[in-house]
Amino acid sequence: MTKTTILDVQVADGADDKYRLKMGPQHPATHGVLRVDLELDGETIDKCDPQVGYLHRGFEKLAEHRTYAQNIVLTDRLDYISAMANNVGYCVAVEKLLAIEVPPRAQFIRVMVCEMARISSHLLWLATHALDIGAMTVFLYCFREREVLLELFAELCGSRLTNTYTRLGGVRQDVTHSIMLKLQRFVDEFPGHIAEYETLIDTNRIWLKRTIGIGQISADKAVDLCLTGPSLRGSGVAYDIRQHIPYAAYNQMDFEVPVGETGDTYARYRCRMEEFRQSNTILRQCIERMPPGPILGKDAPDLIMPAKPGRKLEFDAVAGNALIKLIDNRDLYMAGDVYVATEVPKGELGFYFISDGMGRPYRMHIRSPSFLHIGALATIGQGVMIADLIAIIGTLDVVLGECDR
């Protein structure tokens, strides 16, 4: 075998060399703009090298130039199919940093919107995952239910996708009787819809052939690869932040964490289907036990005034340049750093803040589950067939908006 070198890169020209295929970034099965560089031996993948960064918008840097309240808008665009869960995760982290208390009603509403986001995200996952593997009908049925949830979001906060619903110290809008009535109807009907999806694919022999034994990850390896969420639980590790480090009102909810055994694509599929049911019971509990009271804490900072909780400012002080001077004031907040993780539909979403006391974060780091799941793809994707790689990308449930940030 001879090799020529062009610009220090070895170029294959032998007959027995590997075939190099660049899958993506416009490939419809890569869920966005993921490019996977493959080295193929026939149809088997010898080396799988995911390339990210096509959707990079520099959120971590942008956050350093905006106040804590303004950054809520950025979190909508991380995992854009479960924006509510990101909003809650961000606010829980900032509230811990700034020591802001959240009233119980707001905590319940947060759990409610989180679970609605989880159902809507899992529905989109099931729809696209099934479509990748070849089941078209499930796609349409999933979008039927997702539409109900998105419309509820629109009624709740005025936007279907980029919600910007939570505020530091609470939430923006209270729920209404009409929203809760519609949600109650959804919660009553949804188990029937889950049964419909399962009729279509659960025992379908094509589905079983494409999922059982594909992308198998042992429990140890899944922990080593930093998998979280249903992708980890499919391998038999019962780790769910909602139960282990409860935030919002999750410690008052009765629910179970579904855990798979085999760690293959089918186990992760079953985990997520079971999470549908668990989320549904959490929603039911939220509706039944919604406490009365305010939705914004007493010491919640104003959207525009980055003041110490409880301190009032004159109206003129916040206009124009005065505010910029105020934000740069280093004794506004406590200095320090904090890492808070929350369970979003994809896995563990963590926010790490370094505060130097100013009205905006000195540094914001986002630990996004999708980024680490794509990192794991290099290991899981080795030695599988190309068609199975599509199933594996689908089962890891990655969203490139969150991965590239």
Partner 1 sequence: MKVQYKAKRNLLETILQVEILQGLALTLRKLFSRPITRQYPDEKPPMYAGFRGQHALVRDPVTNDSKCIGCMRCATVCPSRCIHIKTHPGDSGQRLIDQYAIDVLRCVFCGYCVEVCPVGAITMTEVFEYASYDREAIYFDQEILLANWDRFLEQTGYDDTYVNPFWRPRGGLESRLPAAMRRDVPADWTIEGQFVGTKIRQPPACKLITDTEAAHD
Where do contacts with partner 1 occur on this chain (CB under 8 A)? Answer: 66, 69-74, 105, 137, 144, 147, 151, 154-155, 157-159, 162, 164, 172-180, 196, 198-205, 252, 256-261, 267, 270-271, 273-274, 286-296, 303-304, 315, 318-320, 323
* Residue showing tokens 């790689």: 389
Residue 11: HSE in the Cβ half-sphere, 13 Å Cα cutoff:
6
User: Nearer Cβ to partner 1, position 64 or 196?
Assistant: 196
Q: Is the peptide bond before 25 cis (omega within 30 degrees of 0)?
A: yes
Distance, in Å, from the CA atom of 133 to the CA atom of 332, rounded to the nearest integer, reads 53
Q: How far is the CB of 385 from partner 1 (least distance, A)?
A: 24
User: Nearer Cβ to partner 1, position 30 or 87?
Assistant: 87
79: left (phi over 0), alpha (psi -120 to 50) or beta: beta
User: Nearer Cβ to partner 1, position 37 or 202?
Assistant: 202
User: Nearer Cβ to partner 1, position 40 or 219?
Assistant: 219
Q: How far is the CB of 269 from partner 1 (least distance, A)?
A: 9
Q: How far is the CB of 150 from partner 1 (least distance, A)?
A: 10
Distance, in Å, from the CA atom of 403 to the CA atom of 35, rounded to the nearest integer, reads 12
Q: With contact defined as beta carbons under 8 Å apart, do 64 and 363 qualify?
A: yes
User: Nearer Cβ to partner 1, position 31 or 146?
Assistant: 146
Q: Tell me the backbone φ, ψ of residue 192, rounded to 5 degrees.
A: -65, -35
Q: How far is the CB of 171 from partner 1 (least distance, A)?
A: 8
Q: With contact defined as beta carbons under 8 Å apart, do 73 and 261 qualify?
A: no
Q: How far is the CB of 144 from partner 1 (least distance, A)?
A: 6
Distance, in Å, from the CA atom of 366 to the CA atom of 362, rounded to the nearest integer, reads 13
User: Nearer Cβ to partner 1, position 191 or 293?
Assistant: 293
Q: How far is the CB of 338 from partner 1 (least distance, A)?
A: 22
